[in-house]
């Protein structure tokens, strides 16, 4: 008998950094590969939808909730570091800041930029997460995925068609199981110092302690979404319980029990204002689920 707990009608607001979202019809939090296999087999037999989430740090979930089974990967953790080969194998539920700190402590250089990104490795790979001109695909060798029919696949970086905040995984129903990263040996003290400096910079320039999802919009390179929004005088603008951060205008804060509707309305308002002023349609970086 499998010990994985399947829960019914649990609010997903506790599973997103925005603290927004209605109930999952079913939800489970697997800790190992056997439990994941059990869950996808259960979904297959039941013939119901399956949604995969990580830390919920880049996710807006409808207040009406989500049908089917939501698999939350945030308890599926593990890091193996081989300093001699400069290779890190990491399970997809591991948090990026934890990985960045452990890499730094092992004297491996490359992930200093990732210490302030509150997402899982799985989510980072799917979104090609990045900061400070770096992104996860620069350090990735391969990933292992599992399909909803139970087939394993090792995918190389070239197979994933990475772009700015994009990977092929955004269009395919595959569960990221693990990632293999190649870093470089460096001076541990220096790497730790740069990692700490990066985190401190993020704490000062972003509303890190607030309920947000990180950057809402992709940057329309070479322009910056935050600058366009700020130039329109929108810092601090509110719709319902959703507010454009006064610290960083590409962040929307759940400042007072915001609904998913409040956030969507604010996103659309920003898009309209920016388009009317600059002729630029801002694309969202945040993923929307259940709408």
The active-site residue, picked from 13, 57, 92, 215, is 215
Strand 66-72 and strand 108-109: pairing? unpaired
In the chain, the DSSP E strands lie at 7-11, 23-28, 50-53, 59-61, 66-72, 79-82, 87-91, 108-109, 130-131, 134-135, 140-147, 152-156, 174-182, 184-185, 238-239, 242-244, 252-254, 287-289
Q: Is the pLDDT of residue 12 over 50?
A: yes
State the pLDDT at residue 42.
95
Specify the pTM.
0.91
User: For the segment 20-64, what is each residue's pLDDT rounded down to a tens digit?
Assistant: 999 999 999 999 999 999 999 999 999 999 999 999 999 999 999
Which percentage of the chain shows pLDDT scores above 70?
99
Which percentage of the chain shows pLDDT scores above 90?
78
Strand partners, 238: 243
User: For the segment 227-248, what is each residue's pLDDT rounded down to a tens digit?
Assistant: 999 999 999 999 999 999 999 9
Rounded to whole angstroms, the Cα distance separating 196 from 56 reads: 24
Treating both helix axes as pointing N-terminal to C-terminal, what angle do 96-105 and 188-205 enclose, rounded to 10 degrees?
Answer: 150
Q: Is 202 a catalytic residue?
A: no
What would the mean pLDDT of 147-156 be, rounded to a whole number? 94
Q: Is 273 a catalytic residue?
A: no
The active-site residue, picked from 35, 112, 243, 285, is 285
User: CB under 8 Å to 77, separation ≥6 — which residues?
Assistant: 91, 93, 94
What would the mean pLDDT of 67-91 be, rounded to a whole number? 95
DSSP 42-90: HHHHHT--EEEESS-TTEEE-TT-EEEEEEE-TT---EEEETTTTEEEE
State the pLDDT at residue 2.
63
The active-site residue, picked from 165, 167, 243, 249, is 165
Residue 263 CB-density burial (10 A; 0-12 exposed, 13-18 middle, 19+ buried)? buried
State the pLDDT at residue 1.
43
Domains of the chain: 7-72 (3.30.43.10), 79-205 (3.30.465.10), 225-289 (3.90.78.10)
Q: Is 165 a catalytic residue?
A: yes
């Amino acid at each position: 008998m499998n010990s994985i707990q399947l829960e019914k009608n649990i609010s997903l607001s506790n599973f997103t950094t925005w603290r927004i979202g209605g109930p999952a019809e079913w939800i489970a939090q697997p800790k190992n590969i056997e439990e994941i296999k059990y869950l996808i087999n259960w979904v297959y037999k039941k013939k119901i939808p399956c949604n995969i989430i990580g830390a919920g740090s880049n996710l807006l979930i409808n207040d009406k909730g989500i049908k089917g089974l939501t698999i939350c990967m945030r308890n599926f953790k593990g890091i193996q570091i081989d300093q001699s080969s400069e290779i890190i194998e990491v399970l997809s539920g591991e948090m990026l800041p934890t990985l960045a700190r452990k890499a730094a402590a092992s004297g491996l250089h490359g992930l200093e930029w990732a210490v302030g990104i509150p997402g899982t490795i799985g989510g980072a790979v799917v979104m090609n997460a990045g900061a400070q001109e770096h992104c996860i695909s620069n350090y990735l060798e391969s990933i292992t995925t599992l399909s909803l029919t139970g087939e394993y696949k090792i995918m190389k970086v070239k197979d994933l068609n990475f772009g700015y905040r994009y990977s092929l995984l955004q269009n395919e129903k595959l569960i990221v199981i693990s990632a293999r990263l190649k870093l470089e040996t460096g001076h541990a003290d220096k790497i730790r110092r740069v990692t700490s400096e990066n985190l401190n910079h993020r704490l000062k320039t972003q509303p890190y302690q607030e309920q947000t999802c990180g950057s809402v919009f992709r940057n329309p390179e070479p322009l910056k979404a935050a600058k366009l929004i700020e130039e329109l005088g929108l810092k601090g603008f509110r719709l319902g319980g959703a507010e454009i951060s006064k610290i960083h205008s590409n962040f929307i804060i759940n400042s007072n029990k915001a609904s998913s509707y409040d956030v969507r309305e604010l996103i659309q308002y920003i898009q309209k204002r920016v388009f009317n002023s600059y002729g630029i349609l801002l694309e969202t970086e945040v993923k929307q689920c259940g709408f």
